[in-house]
Amino acid sequence: MSDNHIPGAENPEKFTGLQVGEVKKSAAGIPAIIETVKQVVGEAGVARGFKALNHMNKKDGFDCPGCAWPDPDDDRSSLGEYCENGAKAIAEEATLKKLTTEFFAQHAVQELAALTDYEIGRKGRIAQPMFLPAGGTHYQPISWDDAFHKIGSALNKLSSPDEAIFYTSGRTSNEAAFLYQLFVREYGTNNLPDCSNMCHESSGVALGESLGIGKGSVKLEDFYETEVIIILGQNPGTNHPRMLTALQKAKANGARIIAVNPLPESGLMGFNNPQQLKGLLGMDTHLTDIFLPITINGDMALIKAIAYLLWQYEQQQPGKVLDYEFIKQNTEGFHEYISDLQQQNLEHLSQACGISIAQITEVAELLKNKTRIIACWAMGLTQHVNAVDTIKEIVNLLLLKGSIGKPGAGTCPVRGHSNVQGDRTMGIYEKPSQQFLNNIAGNFNFQPPQHHGYDVVEAIKAMHGGKATVFIAMGGNFLSATPDTNYTATALSKCSLTVHVSTKLNRSHLVHGKEALILPCLGRSDKDMLNGEEQIVSCENSMGVIQLSKGVLQPVSDQLLSEPVIVCRLAKATLGNSSQVNWDKYLQHYDHIRTDIERTIAGFSDYNKRVREPGGFYLPNCNREGSFNTVSKKAHFNIAPITTIKLHANELLMMTIRSHDQFNTTIYGLNDRYRGIYKERRVILMNQQDMNERELKQGDVVDIYNHHGGVERVAHKFIVVPYPIPVKCTATYFPEANVLVPVNSVAKKSNTPVSKAVVVTVKKASV
């Protein structure tokens, strides 16, 4: 695993001019509006930019390609249902800049790989299919027919379909995702890793095992009826800004908010709603009532401590604290759970999470007589070794309070990509259920492969070990999003062919297999015409609502194809006449795709009609309806020990997080406004005490090391910034720090890379 440094795999080690300001105490407000307009008009021009903004998240418009936070079912703001970061996502996509064949002729692949991700992204939309021949230095134009032919013959040459990998990022529409998995399964493999493997997989596993459905249970309205919202490991001000509007409304209705985060994230603290006069005038809504600055990975201990106190209160006020009726009717494992809980030591739990007993008591007191609680979480919980058990611990707490399956209460794993949840519903999954495979077999007259495929981590290892040699990606930026950058770069460069269906250029196009293809596709905001008729697609948001999405902008090039069309033509070129699927039918109208989804997947009856109803429709959700689809039909209390990560004297625990100016590996800008960090991404946030111990001061440059599994990983040249973060905890930005995330450090059961708890040491760099 000692992989050499692969040229171009990492961002160049150059600085861009760090400026440090104050950490903001609230999010949004006027600066957010200024940013919005600046970004969109700058990239797309006035008319095109405002056209895009006006149609985003409207009931007849397109789904924001940013996050998966739901749109209100009822009234949508006339000012627009979008946020600063959604606008940046649209600016990125609606840009008029494009990469012509001349651009690729002028710039060698190695030259482009020497740019930063930010610089690469600025170049514009990919405008035509491009091919990099074996040994070639420059991408060359290729016709669509030739591109499909090349892929088809590469796939047909493999000795087993399991030697190919078909990745999906989470922007792919339901229609494209359904066709993609159908093609991949007819071709003969379940190798369908997706970004979810690195994202909310831990939530899916935990909720599936405990509650019988791998999705959250709340609707947006529940936020308006709840008494308490607990937000753990999530930074909504940056990553789900429209959630702040829901939190604001919840507060107005009397809800209390508890935030659990190593960082005092601005969006958790306060909110200036830019869509209200008060917000425009700079008047904050104070959001968080209790902020718990937890040490990284301390969440399980914290929740156990809260539950421990609730149990004690129950002894003092029998029948007043826990919901025994709910527990009796709906759960199993309660007594075992309680006897385990009684053996916990509060002092010990408090130390393990870094939160004082006084503060834990404050939380328990607050929860004591509440019955409607919502728990929200994101990557701060899912990307840990014990992520699945931690999420189950949250479920335990909700079960004690009967806070699932009634208004104002429930689980809310806040999803990332705008259709990551929908892609899974459509069958983008390396471990499909037998029921799903049977439905495919029943409807399409071929036998899909029964054995499971590779997830993301397994796919990287398979390519590294030469077991898989063709890599195809429906969107995303596999190289930069995955762990252990140099290991993954080696894996990709061992492939005979790497193919990316993409809107924008990224690093995965530049660190490639022997041959490589870039297939340019329409984005969410682009108008999708087929046989003279405008097509719609659909997405599922974080709360299980299926909604249509219709692009409105003229595509920047007439050589772009939609993702569904690309899949159909790829399938035809690969499977030829032997295919049992009528791909030509789907190429006539997307309604035919939805008809087949309806026949195959539960919850989509009358799909074509209901998707066109304003606001779309909810998929069934057993928890929401008060039932639990586990084998026993009961919700499970889970018992798991707390595990503390032992650090040696000089070691620190590092989380890799998003700045305010990025969408995953797409870098919109170099500022992290709310955290007061400007013009630089190569920073490491450290507690002043840890800096003192290492004789470091603000502005010093360090190299960061990880030695997991006896392999040395180094991220060179990061600037030290003192920050209000617990002792022994540090933070860096993803993807610059991914070189340090060990491919073999994964969450139990979900196999998600542990991106939030990387054991590191820092050493002053020679500059």
Contact 623, 411 (CB under 8 A): yes
Q: Site for ligand MGD (CB under 6 A): which residue of 29, 66, 270, 616?
A: 66
Coil vs helix vs strand at 67: strand
Site string for Mo ion, 358-397 (x = CB under 5 A): ----------------------------------------
Candidates 34-42, 191-199, 207-215, 217-225: pick the segment binding ligand MGD (CB under 6 A).
191-199
Instruction: Count the residues in the chain.
Output: 767
Minimum distance of ligand MGD from residue 482's CB (angstroms): 7
- Long-range CB pairs of 658-662 (<8 Å, 24+ gap) are 658/235, 658/238, 658/239, 658/733, 658/734, 659/238, 659/733, 660/85, 660/237, 660/238, 661/88, 662/733
Among 64, 99, 199, 642, binds ligand MGD (CB under 6 A): 199
Q: Can you tell me which of 416, 475, 520, 753 binds Mo ion, judged by CB under 5 A?
A: 416
Question: Cβ closer to ligand MGD: 636 or 658?
Answer: 658
Q: How far is the CB of 100 from ligand MGD (least distance, A)?
A: 17
The item of Mo ion, ligand MGD, none sharing an interface with residue 636, based on CB under 5 to 8 Å by kind, is none
Cα 621 from Cα 615, distance rounded (Å): 18
User: Which does residue 662 bind out of Mo ion, ligand MGD, none, counting CB within 5 to 8 angstroms by kind?
Assistant: ligand MGD
CB-CB neighbours of 730 under 10 Å? 26
Is residue 187 within 8 A of residue 161, CB to CB? The reply is: yes
DSSP percent split of the chain into helix, strand, coil, nearest 5: 40, 20, 45
Other residues' Cβ atoms within 10 Å of the Cβ of residue 345: 11
**Both ends of the chain: CA-CA distance in Å?**
28
User: Residue 577 carries which DSSP code?
Assistant: G
Nearest CA among 421, 407, 368, 323 for reference residue 635 = 323
Q: Which partner, Mo ion, ligand MGD, none, binds residue 721 by CB below 5 to 8 Å per kind?
A: none
What backbone torsions phi and psi does residue 672 show, to the nearest 5 degrees?
-125, 75
Interacting residues of 127 by C-beta distance below 8 A, sequence separation 6+: 98, 99, 100, 520, 556, 557, 559, 560
Closest to Mo ion by CB, 199 vs 759, is 199
Nearest-angstrom CA–CA distance, 254 and 373? 13
> Which of 20, 44, 56, 67: binder of ligand MGD (CB under 6 A)?
67
Could you say which of 6, 44, 321, 481 contacts ligand MGD (CB under 6 A)? 481
Q: What whole-number distance in Å separates Cα of residue 413 and Cα of residue 416?
A: 9
SS3 761: strand
Q: Which two tokens stand for residue 429?
A: 């999954």
CB of 323 vs ligand MGD, minimal distance in Å: 25
| Residue 756 binding partner per list ligand MGD, Mo ion, none, with a CB distance cut-off of 5 to 8 Å that depends on partner kind | ligand MGD
| 718 within 8 A of 53, measured Cβ to Cβ | no
Single residue of 24, 219, 504, 681 touching ligand MGD by CB under 6 A: 504
Q: How far is the CB of 662 from ligand MGD (least distance, A)?
A: 5
Q: Is 291 helix (H, G, I), strand (E, B) or coil?
A: strand
Output the DSSP codes for 412-439. EE---BTTHHHHHHTT--SS--HHHHHH
| Among positions 87, 198, 229, 686, the unique one binding ligand MGD when judged by CB under 6 A | 198
The answer to whether the CB of 753 falls within 8 A of the CB of 499 is no
Q: Residue 262's closest CA among 740, 727, 718, 745?
A: 727
- Select the residue interacting with ligand MGD from 195, 243, 306, 546 (CB under 6 A): 195
Q: Minimum distance between the CB of residue 353 and ligand MGD, rounded to whole angstroms?
A: 9
Cβ atoms < 10 Å from Cβ of 693: 12
**Residue 483 binds to Mo ion (criterion: CB under 5 A):** no
Residue pair 200/345 in contact (Cβ under 8 Å)? The answer is no
| Cβ neighbours of residue 266 closer than 8 Å, sequence gap 6 or more | 23, 24, 25, 26, 27, 237, 674, 675
751 touching ligand MGD, by CB under 6 A: no
User: Between residues 239 and 541, which has the closer beta carbon with respect to ligand MGD?
Assistant: 239
Binding ligand MGD (rule: CB under 6 A), the pick from 8, 216, 408, 416 is 416
Q: Is 239 in the site for ligand MGD (CB under 6 A)?
A: yes
- List the interface residues with Mo ion, window 184-213 (CB under 5 A): 199
Contact between 299 and ligand MGD by CB under 6 A: the answer reads yes
CA angle 762, 763, 765 (to 5 degrees): 125
The nearer residue to ligand MGD, 147 or 655, going by C-beta atoms, is 655
Shortest gap between Cβ of 22 and ligand MGD (angstroms)?
18
Contact residues for 551 (Cβ-Cβ < 8 A; gap 6+): 62, 522, 523, 524, 525, 526, 527, 528
Q: Which is nearer to ligand MGD, 85 or 116 (CB)?
A: 85
CB nearer to ligand MGD: pick between 187 and 734: 734
Given candidates 142, 364, 379, 561, which one binds ligand MGD under the rule CB under 6 A? 379
The residue among 449 and 753 lying less far from ligand MGD, judged by its C-beta, is 753
422 binds, among ligand MGD, Mo ion, none (CB under 5 to 8 A by kind): none
Rounded to a whole number of angstroms, the minimum distance from the CB of residue 668 to ligand MGD is 8
Q: Which does 171 bind (CB under 5 to 8 A by kind): ligand MGD, Mo ion, none?
A: ligand MGD
With binding defined as CB under 6 A, does residue 216 bind ligand MGD? no
Total of chain residues touching ligand MGD, rule CB under 6 A: 61
Task: Tell whether residue 372 is a contact of ligand MGD (CB under 6 A).
Answer: no
Question: Which option in Mo ion, ligand MGD, none does residue 40 bind, with CB closer than 5 to 8 A by kind?
Answer: none
Task: Choose which of 590, 637, 663, 674 interacts with ligand MGD (CB under 6 A).
Answer: 663
Residue 162 binds ligand MGD, judged by CB under 6 A: no
Spatial distance between the Cα atoms of 602 and 366, rounded to a whole number of angstroms: 40
For ligand MGD, which is the closer residue by CB, 170 or 402?
Answer: 170
- Minimum Å distance from CB 480 to ligand MGD? 7
755 CB-side CA count, 13 A: 34
Residue 183 or residue 617: which is nearer to ligand MGD going by CB?
A: 183
Beta bridge partners, 140, equal 131
CB of 200 to Mo ion, least distance (A): 7
Nearest approach, Cβ of 85 to ligand MGD (angstroms)?
3
Kindly tell me which of 483 and 726 has the beta carbon lying closer to Mo ion: 483
Using CB under 5 A, list all residues that contact Mo ion.
199, 416
Residues that bind ligand MGD (CB under 6 A): 65-67, 85, 169-171, 195, 198-199, 232-235, 238-240, 260-263, 265, 294, 296-297, 299, 378-380, 383, 416-417, 474-478, 481, 501-504, 506, 521, 523-524, 563, 655-658, 662-666, 734, 738, 741, 755-756
